[in-house]
Amino acid sequence: MTLSGLQVLVVEDHGFQRRMALRLLTDLGVEQVHEAADGVAALALLERLSQPPDVVLVDLDMPGMDGVEFIGHVAQRRLARGVALVSAMDPALLNTVQTMARAYGLHMLKHLEKPLTADKLAALLLSYEQRQQAEPESTPVQLEPGEAELALARGRIEPWFQPQVEFANGKVIAVEALARMRREDGTIVGALDFVPLLERSNLAQALTDAMLDQGCRWQRYWRSHGLNVSLSVNVSPATLADPAIADHYQRIVTGHGIDPAQVMLEITEGSLLADAARGLGVLARLRLKGFGLSIDDFGTGYSSLAQLSQVPFTELKIDRGFVSDAPNHSRKRAVIEASLELARKLRLQVVAEGVETVDEWQLLAELGCGIAQGYLIARPVPGDELTDAIDRWRRPDA
């Protein structure tokens, strides 16, 4: 895809600024450009378009339907592939809106400060284009009823692996297994499009088993070829209600000749355990058997400190929402600094997710973060492509 192939919608109530944005987009070679003066008109336009636009540029402070309400409608109805805020308002407010949109599952691009310039727009659109090329399965997919369940039963849901590297020396020390579904026609579907369907069908444990089993199989294969890395696997909180799950996971891992100490089980922070007593007992038994426990997406829920005080976590993952463009946002930097200080006091290793730029890498390194994960290092790849992805990696400050 080139900039000329992108479809962009500008939602701006100020006529002069809207025309300026349209002219800049045209000068950059974007051929499919739409405009709307308010949220209501923009929603009506989006409903008429045959394909969702790639990027919607939206102002927040608009009469009638403001940008916040508009973005909520876009996210819930999946009317756009990506959204960027164009505003000179308080960074704290912008960060809140971006976090809200991501919680809906919407791809939020970095916000643009007014006044718009050609350089700002070009950088934004190029970042969107590069992300689509790096991970095309991020485009929303409408699955047929029962398609995800059938894919799981037939072994067409598989782990792709994203490396985690040490800031100190750039060494790849671990990989995270990320679920991907391979459709009958060979196209790849991202986790957001099928994991919720499997969870609603009570197949969360079957999915976790598949990721853990296949991940350990690849881990053993890499080890036999000279690559020794730890494995991180996401665990659905629904599985932690089963008192026997610790023994079950141990059998899967040791059945492949893998030490549980080489496996990190990631638990999303925002997922509260329905039965706290039973869940804490399961987590304690997992640690007793040697598994590492990671609190994923740290800072995005409301129980961070409570869970850290109750659960024997060994790792803390800083959510990508705080990492993205942190060098330019004092509040994000403050959250990262506080998380790192807390982790040091609790003796937890820290992984920063979503590291995409050299500036983000350098900031996190300066703040003393231990491990990085993100597109700057490598995109998620199938198991047979991991060694090639690692060979291409070069530490920015090396």
Which residues are the active-site residues? 353
Exposed / middle / buried, residue 100 (Cβ in 10 Å: 0-12, 13-18, 19+): middle
**The dihedral formed by the CA atoms of 350, 160, 194 and 375, expressed in degrees to the nearest 10:** 60
Can you tell me the distance from the alpha carbon of 176 to that of 153, in angstroms, rounded to the nearest whole number? 22
Q: Using an 8 Å Cβ cutoff, are 54 and 82 in contact?
A: yes
Q: How far apart are CA 262 and CA 289, in angstroms?
A: 11
Neighbours of 310 (CB within 10 A): 14
Whether residue 115 has a cis bond before it, omega within 30° of 0 = yes
The per-residue b/e assignment along 245-261, b for 16 or more CB within 10 angstroms, e otherwise, is bbeebbebbeebebebe
Residue 202 has a CB neighbour count (10 Å cut-off) of 9
Q: Which residues make Cβ contacts (< 8 Å) with residue 149, sequence separation at least 6?
A: 197, 198, 201, 203
Return the structure tokens found at 161: 């692996």
Q: What are phi and psi of 326, to 5 degrees?
A: -60, -35
59: phi then psi, degrees, rounded to nearest 5: -80, 150
Token match 């403050």: residue?
334
The DSSP result for 92-125, as a single string, is: HHHHHHHHHHHHTT--BPPPBPSSP-HHHHHHHH
Rounded Cα gap, residues 276 and 268, in angstroms:
15
Q: Strands 172-182 and 157-166: what pairing?
A: antiparallel
Tell me how far apart the alpha carbons of residues 240 and 279 are, in angstroms, rounded to a whole number.
5
> In this structure, are residues 85 and 67 in contact, taking their beta carbons and an 8 Å threshold?
yes
255: amino acid identity, one letter: G
